[in-house]
């Protein structure tokens, strides 16, 4: 639960920060919406004291007309705030839908469970709708409460300082206690949901096997299993009910107590207090503060908890969606900018929950512009490491950062991951090469990539950059060269090659790697030839749970496994 809570909170927070102008507009419009909260009590007080009680009913009515005008301004503000909130939540929904579909398809291609995963798409897109609605509601209730509270504070203070203290003390204390209890409520809600699901499942199992249970005479243990699940459900529901009772207390304290205190103060308090002031303070509490607190408590308690539980379920077990996935690059940088630093901090990874770790507590720092070769015996986890570094797999434990930021905060075009099977689609060579570029790719950049990867012959054959490629008529090596040229032309500051040159002959491979090295940027290569390892600045040898790094010469001296691998590569080469 706490992981889901943290992931959801972090994701939502980074989403809100992604577009500060939209957030500012929401706040601006909410300010307009809550103008009545600021002025209503004051206008009522003026209407009573300087109008109706002062023998000037027309003046009183005019103040009430001003109050109606305030309400109209508030309604206009509510309309604007709603539209601005939509500008935040609609792209969030799009990003989450894209993420859930991509994650399901990715799992389907990895796990051979495509049927289950496609049903997962439908389930998760429904969850995305819940998240969209809940985020909208939360933005509305929290910002509305903040502005209303501030407006009522200012308004009441202009009427009477003592009354203001009577109102705010109970509201602040009870709302703070409530907010602090929310995490517990979320946990209890999840526990109750899991317990009732389990009870339903066990009851279903028992119902379908009643005949066998009776035949084997195992009624007693079967009953005990069901009873244990029922008790757990009851305990979880009881806890949830107790925590929800806190909400009733909060609503009572923050909604009704100020009203009672104001009435007591009016009766026994300062004798000089006018009837208009009392009515004004009551208007602030009853018309503005109470509804805002009620909406906040309901919003946080029900919608907020549902949001965190649902978003946690969407994000669990996969890479968090890139916050700016649907939007433009953060700063429009198209250069490699000298390469990115990549850090793995105590990373572990297992393919199945509870399964054996493929990577165990692995820490590594790749410096900007470094060329790292990863080597090790087959099945040791080199491809897994490459996928974790690229962000296509999420560590089970630990963190991966790029330039100090979590991978999910890095625009996807900043890193390129090339697996063994090169992806080439039917389309022009230009389209294939520009695939990782944002928007229009520079002609010079594409031409350079063609030249560096030795693709000019292929380009001439098909009629230049605008010639159409048929992937079925390309050799595996040509497909790999196209993928490498695409990486060369891309703005990625980190290139990860997972045996992406395995179909090239050694000389072409060496040229391609050298071209990528000269291009700038950080280069991580899962190497399968000595030339690859020797050309790298640093070699990382994966040997079971042990990981060592050093130069080619250092590794030859220090790692028997590396010496074996080099020996094998030499033998393969002759
Ligand atoms: N999708 C997957 N699901 C479950 N296990 C997997 C999956 N992919 C890889 N593995 C397992 O993880 C371990 C590491 O595999 P990985 O492909 O990362 O090793 P490698 O060092 O790259 O091997 P090779 O050099 O043969 O490509 C292996 O035991 C492999 O069987």
**Which residue(s) pair with 402 in the sheet?**
342, 405
**Residue 388 near residue 349 (C-beta atoms within 8 A):** yes
How does pLDDT run across 286-300, given as a tens digit for each residue?
Answer: 999 989 988 888 888
Residue of 252 and 2 predicted with greater confidence: 252
Q: Residue 429: which CATH number?
A: 3.40.50.300
Q: Is residue 324 part of a domain?
A: no
- Mark residue 91 as left, alpha or beta (left: phi above 0; alpha: psi -120 to 50; beta: remaining): alpha
Q: Which domain holds residue 92?
A: 2-315
- Residues 42 and 189 grouped into a single domain: yes
Q: How far from 194 is each of 128, 338, 499, CA to CA, in Å? A: 20, 49, 43
Give the Cα separation of 124 and 117 in Å (integer). 10
Atom 6, ligand 1: which residue's CA is nearest?
351
185 CA to centre of ligand 1 in angstroms: 41
Write phi, then psi, for 415 (nearest 5 degrees).
-140, 150
Q: Residue 253 has which token pair?
A: 């304290």
Share of the chain above pLDDT 70, in %: 89
How does pLDDT run across 221-231, given as a tens digit for each residue?
Answer: 888 888 988 99
Entry pTM: 0.50
237 CA to centre of ligand 1 in angstroms: 43
342 CA to centre of ligand 1 in angstroms: 22
Q: Residue 266: which CATH number?
A: 1.20.1560.10
109 CA to centre of ligand 1 in angstroms: 14
How does pLDDT run across 60-104, given as a tens digit for each residue?
Answer: 999 999 999 999 999 999 999 998 898 888 888 888 887 777 776
Which of 358, 542, 545, 561 to mutate for ligand 1's pocket (most ligand atoms within 8 Å of CB)?
Answer: 358
Q: How many domains does the chain have?
A: 2
- Residues 403 and 536 grouped into a single domain: yes
CA angle 321, 323, 326 (to 5 degrees): 90
Which of 106, 383, 388 to mutate for ligand 1's pocket (most ligand atoms within 8 Å of CB)?
Answer: 383
- Residues 162 and 109 grouped into a single domain: yes
Q: What is the pLDDT of residue 319?
A: 47
Cα–Cα nearest to 519, from 539, 499, 489: 489
Cα–Cα nearest to 561, from 361, 380, 357, 439: 380
- Residues 279 and 347 grouped into a single domain: no
- Residues 354 and 311 grouped into a single domain: no
- Residues 150 and 212 grouped into a single domain: yes
Q: Is residue 325 part of a domain?
A: no
Q: Is residue 11 part of a domain?
A: yes
Which of 360, 384, 417, 572 to mutate for ligand 1's pocket (most ligand atoms within 8 Å of CB)?
Answer: 384
- Residues 311 and 378 grouped into a single domain: no
- Residues 268 and 347 grouped into a single domain: no
- Residues 296 and 187 grouped into a single domain: yes
Burial class (CB in 10 A: 0-12, 13-18, 19+), 220: exposed
Give the Cα separation of 35 and 287 in Å (integer). 13
- Residues 367 and 232 grouped into a single domain: no
Q: Is residue 335 part of a domain?
A: no
Give the Cα separation of 322 and 407 in Å (integer). 8
Q: Report H helices in 421-475.
A: 429-433, 443-452, 456-462
- Residues 292 and 414 grouped into a single domain: no
Residue of 136 and 268 predicted with greater confidence: 136
- Residues 381 and 305 grouped into a single domain: no
Q: Residue 336 has which token pair?
A: 């490699």
Q: Residue 282 has which token pair?
A: 């009551």
């Amino acid at each position: 639960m706490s992981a889901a809570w943290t992931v959801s909170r972090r994701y939502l927070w980074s989403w809100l920060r992604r577009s500060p102008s939209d957030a500012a507009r929401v706040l601006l419009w909410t300010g307009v919406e809550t103008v009545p909260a600021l002025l209503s009590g004051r206008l009522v007080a003026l209407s009573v004291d300087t109008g109706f009680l002062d023998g000037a009913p027309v003046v009183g009515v005019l103040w009430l007309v001003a109050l109606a005008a305030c309400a109209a301004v508030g309604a206009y503000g509510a309309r604007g705030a709603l539209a601005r909130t939509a500008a935040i939540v609609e792209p969030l929904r799009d990003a989450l839908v894209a993420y859930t579909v991509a994650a399901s398809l990715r799992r389907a291609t990895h796990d051979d469970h495509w049927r289950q995963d496609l049903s997962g798409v439908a389930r998760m897109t429904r969850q995305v709708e819940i998240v969209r609605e809940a985020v909208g509601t939360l933005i509305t209730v929290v910002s509305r409460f903040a502005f209303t509270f501030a407006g009522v504070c200012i308004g009441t203070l202009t009427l009477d300082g003592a009354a203001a203290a009577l109102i705010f003390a109970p509201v602040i204390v009870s709302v703070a206690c409530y907010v602090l209890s929310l995490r517990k409520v979320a946990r209890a809600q999840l526990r109750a949901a899991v317990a009732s699901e389990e009870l339903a499942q066990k009851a279903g199992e028992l119902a379908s096997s009643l005949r066998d249970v009776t035949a084997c005479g195992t009624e007693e243990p079967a009953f005990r299993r069901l009873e244990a699940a029922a008790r757990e459900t009851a305990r979880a529901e009881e806890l949830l009910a107790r925590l929800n009772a806190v909400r009733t207390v909060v609503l009572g304290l923050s909604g009704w107590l100020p009203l009672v205190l104001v009435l007591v103060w009016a009766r026994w308090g300062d004798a000089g207090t006018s009837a208009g002031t009392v009515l004004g303070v009551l208007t602030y509490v009853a018309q503005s503060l109470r509804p805002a607190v009620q909406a906040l408590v309901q919003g946080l308690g029900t919608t907020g908890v549902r949001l965190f539980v649902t978003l946690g379920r969407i994000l669990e077990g996969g890479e968090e969606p890139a916050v700016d996935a649907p939007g433009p690059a953060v700063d429009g940088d198209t250069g490699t900018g000298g390469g990115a630093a990549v850090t793995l901090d105590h990373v572990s990874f297992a393919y199945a929950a509870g399964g054996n770790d493929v990577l165990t507590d692995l820490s590594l720092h790749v410096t900007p512009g470094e060329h790292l070769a990863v080597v090790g015996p087959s099945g040791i986890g080199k491809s897994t490491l490459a996928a974790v570094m690229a962000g296509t797999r999420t560590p089970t434990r630990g963190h991966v950062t790029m330039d100090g930021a979590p991978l999910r905060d890095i625009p996807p075009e900043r890193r390129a991951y090339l697996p063994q099977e090169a992806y080439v689609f039917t389309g022009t060579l230009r389209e294939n090469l520009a695939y990782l570029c944002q928007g229009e790719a520079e002609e010079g950049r594409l031409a350079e990539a063609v030249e560096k990867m030795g693709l000019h012959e292929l380009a001439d054959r098909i009629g230049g950059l605008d010639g159409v490629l048929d992937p079925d008529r390309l050799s595996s090596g040509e497909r790999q060269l196209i993928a490498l040229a695409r990486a060369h032309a891309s703005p990625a500051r980190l290139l990860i090659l997972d045996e992406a040159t395995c179909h090239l002959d050694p000389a072409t491979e060496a040229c391609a790697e050298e071209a990528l090295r000269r291009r700038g940027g950080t280069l991580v290569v899962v190497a399968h030839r000595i030339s690859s390892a020797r050309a790298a600045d640093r070699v990382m040898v994966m040997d079971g749970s042990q990981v060592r790094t050093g130069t080619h010469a250092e590794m030859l001296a220090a790692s028997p496994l590396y010496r074996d691998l080099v020996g094998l590569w030499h033998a393969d080469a002759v």
